[in-house]
Structure 1
Amino acid sequence: MSVRQEMPGRLLRLLSLLQSRREWPGGELAERVGVTTRTLRRDIDRLRALDYPVESTGGTGGGYRLGRGGRLPPLVLDDDEAVAVGVALAAAASVNPDLGESATGALAKLGQVLPARLRPRLAAAGSVAVAPPRGVPVDDLPDGVHADGPARDAGVGHPGVDPDRLALLAGACRDAEVVSLRYVSRGRGTDRRVEPHRLVLAEGRWYLSAHDLRRDAARIFRLDRMRDVTTTGRRFVPRPQSEDPVAQLRASFAAATYRNTAHVTIGLSESEVRRWVPALPGALEAEGPDRCRARVSADSARLVVQYTAMLTAVAAARGAAVTVDAEAAVAEPLRSLGATLSATP
């Protein structure tokens, strides 16, 4: 018989509360469980008899905390937490081959114990792909529509995504069902109908790779900019994908142009430059066997100056020619930096 079957629901509730905080005053804990302090003491004794290390603490009225060691407590999750764990396991399986088998096994076990109402949401976690970090600072990410221009929300952080919206879109990806939504970009909203392909998690934000029926083209949408998201009940035949959704998102990152941009031409091969500067907030393209051109673009002028200076230093260290074309917000700090370095003994 499992521990969950042996223990009444009240004890599971008590264990869940003890896991949620470092320490509980006895009176507050009894109130949360819905029992008297005397009954609480008896329940604590029952947990201890089952080898759960519940410790008594001092202070007014005394209190309790869950110590280390003993039997591993059952993990009590609410609906959204359970689905979040499932998405995280699916993400781990897709991004790290070393964790793939273990994460897949844990996901299967989770699916066996979840209530029937949550199993479709968990199954939809298979629609998630994860993009490994680019390795460059992020002051903003593309506006959501492929190559449609600069984003304008730098510094706002990573807004949360409604778990129900995430589950709805994951299910639509799995079931090949057209989705209707309103997309807010650069201060204006447009109504879209899309054929969803995959959800992508990148740099702490959620994206949807989809075919935009209005534009008849593949697009990447940010979930936090979606409004009024609904499934239409209309199924579609999935289109052949020209590229992986993570690669598609990477291309969007590279193609996006932000407030500050510098163009750097270097007399070195693209592979040589990429060896020393493997990640750029922008794009790096070959212009011949011994010449390449970098476009460094970000909302932060400081970030553009930083990476432009790195490219210039790589060229200087190898005696290669370099030219920089940038607006004043980037060019002036670069000249100042160059003058400072020249004056240094």
Structure 2
Amino acid sequence: MTDGSARMLSLLSLLQARREWPAAELAERLAVSTRTIRRDVERLRELGYRVSATMGPDGGYRLAAGEELPPLRFDDEQAVALAIALSSVAGGGAAIEEAAERALATVRKVLPSRLRHRVDGLRFAHEPSAVRTDPEVILAVSEAVRERRVLRFGYRRGDGVEADGGPPRRVEPHELVARDGRWYLVAFELEREDWRLYRLDRMAPRAPHGARFAPRRIPHGDALAFLTARFRGAVEHRDVAAGSADAGSGATPAWPCIGEAVVRAEASELAPWLEPGELIEAADGRCRLALGSWSWAGVIARLLQFERPFELLGPPELEVAAESAAARLSSAGRASPGTRTRRAGR
């Protein structure tokens, strides 16, 4: 490959990586003059690439989408990243495994030998998602999110039956979240006037999309926090003492039961096993913890797992749960010979 051809491919790679490039910056990156850049752009146009010029003092170039997919140019890091992404598609939940395999085979054929060996050496275990989401549904919902348009859709229960027999649901779609092989939509439902979480594999979008809407503030701060809070059964914690009209607007995801305690241990001993939770290190070898769980007994169980002495700080429900757990453990004792489970065959 001549120097000119190699430079032109490098130019193509840069144009594909960013929406717009000033001519002077391209010339600096490729160590040539802006006149050479202009000639290379003309050669790309002759090959079918739609490269448009941008006007102004910092005029440059932009690679536009064509009618057909032209040959793509990837550097070594991009090629390896693409191969890894395509190899891990099965765990993503989108029903595109076959297309991903074909794409990976296409990429592999054009890789230089030094990269092909590295890609062929990719071996990792991943658990395929039990849920498959139609990529057309993902694209339709994504379009509504991007354009901020009201989305209409039918919704099925887990058994495949329509969740209700009424008209399609109407929501203001705000964010898509992919988690554990499932795709979720965080949206504000207009009829119920409340925030809801929907699984895309149960949605059947209706066309066309509705009117545009102004984005609202998602509870708990963002879509990921909202999803986490719903999974934990959380409620918003409002700062009543502050007396603010915006109380609760800064709510964060929390477990239904949250307790505090002081544990006699160094922070380095507790930190690896704390997630999720909050730790404040004291100066006397003790740590103050805030832990959450589904129940107060669950908070006590999390404290016991550290196997260190601790003192409860509250709330009162946590102290009641500790007394109940202590009573149960004390009465458990050792099973009498007559109540022990006998092994089969004896």
- Do they fold alike, i.e. is TM over 0.5? no
Q: TM-score, normalised by structure 2?
A: 0.39
Q: Using CA pairs below 8 Å that are at least 6 residues apart, which structure has the higher relative contact order?
A: 1
Q: Quick check: which has more Rg, 1 or 2?
A: 2
Which of the two has greater strand per residue?
1
| TM-score normalised by L of structure 1 | 0.39
